[in-house]
Amino acid sequence: MPYQEISATVTDKQLQAVKDAIAAVQTALPFLISLTDDERKKLPKTGLTRLSFVQDAAQAAQDNSNILPASFDADGFESNVALFTAMTEINTLVAQLASQIDDTHLAVGVEALSGASDVYNYVKAAATKTPGLKPVADQLGQLFQQAVATKAANAAAKKAAKT
């Protein structure tokens, strides 16, 4: 089902509440890290199938602790499993929210861009008859051309990266 045109506002108070909520999450999870692209590439991938493997291995370790060598840190492993499980749930929730934010951002951005294009065309048409509008039309035209050039450059870079 296609989305309906978005008609909403975010007040300063709402924006601050969102920022505060994000800060609260960051405070609640002070151990969060940031990996470089190279670090991410070197690490094995994790996901729901890996979570099942990890949880099953944890259960096997609990049920058969007598087979684990003394050097195996069972408590550390159990702690990592619990954190991985919790982070998987948090990641799913945040990914859903991020997807909605991204989709809304994209849709409202398209609506705003469409309106801006309309204004540019009105200004451009009126600039021939209305004194003082030519500099505004020129400025909007330059910004429009820069956006078109940036889009073309990004598309070319994306295409080159795929080959």
The yes-or-no verdict on residue 8 having pLDDT over 90 is yes
DSSP-derived 3-state class of residue 113 = helix
Domain boundaries, the chain: 12-162
pLDDT digits (tens, 9 = 90+) for 15-63: 999 999 999 999 999 999 999 999 999 999 887 789 999 999 999 999 9
pLDDT for position 1: 52
pLDDT for position 155: 78
Q: Are 124 and 141 in contact (CB under 8 A)?
A: yes
Residue 120 burial (10 A CB sphere; 0-12, 13-18, 19+)? middle
DSSP-derived 3-state class of residue 128 = coil
